[in-house]
Amino acid sequence: MHRKVVLRVVSKFLIPPILLFALYVQFHGDFGPGGGFQAGVIFGSGFILYAILFGVETVKRVLPPWSTRLLLVVGVLTYGLTGVAGLILGGNYLDYNVLAHDPLHGQHYGILIVELGVGITVAASMITIFNVFAGQSGGD
């Protein structure tokens, strides 16, 4: 892998736009096509591309295994607890109207947070699954 100069240079140019595009898809999902699932998958594939070219160990220095496992849970809890917050504030489970004084703002915040939870879960699970697969053969 150390001699694939073209792939390494091109991927170094491409990975920042890939991650940026993932964030765009995440936070522009209210207006354009996309949302948490798509953003998470694109974000995860950026890291996976990096891991393929520069080794899983290099990625693990940025994202240690415990952190992706933690993010996996954080994402699911973000979604679930948004629903619980609706319950506490006097609405139904996953009812975003009560999250703010104006129901429309409540919906906006609710969808933003929930989509963030989806994105975090999807990205973390893609990276985790890849790390586990690659870790089987890697290192020996």
Partner 1 sequence: MENVIIIVLMLMMGAVGLAIARIRDLFAVSMLSGIFSLIGAAAYVVLDAVDVAFTEAAVGAGISTVLMLGTLALTTRKEKLGGGKSKSTTAFLVVAVTGAVLVYGTFDMPRYGDKIAAIHHHVVPRYIEKSGEEVGMPNIVTSVLASYRGYDTLGEVFVIFTAATGVLAILGRARRRREDEEADEGGSDTKGAAS
Binding to partner 1, residues 10-49 (CB under 8 A): 25, 29-38, 41-42, 44-45, 48
Answer yes or no whether residue 124 interacts with partner 1 by CB under 8 A.
Answer: yes
Q: How far apart are CA 97 and CA 29, in angstroms?
A: 19
| Residue 74 CB coordination number (10 Å) | 15
* Smallest gap from residue 9 Cβ to partner 1 (A): 20
Q: What number of residues does the chain have?
A: 140
List C-alpha distances in Å: 53 to 14, 19, 20: 12, 16, 19
Answer yes or no whether residue 115 interacts with partner 1 by CB under 8 A.
Answer: yes
Tell me the number of residues near partner 1 by CB under 8 A: 57
Judge whether 47 and 55 are in contact, CB under 8 Å: no
Residue 83 structure tokens? 């629903």
Q: Which residues bind partner 1 (CB under 8 A)?
A: 25, 29-38, 41-42, 44-45, 48, 52, 60, 64-66, 69-70, 72-73, 75-76, 79-80, 83, 94, 96, 103-104, 107-108, 110-111, 114-115, 117-118, 121-122, 124-126, 128-130, 132-137, 139
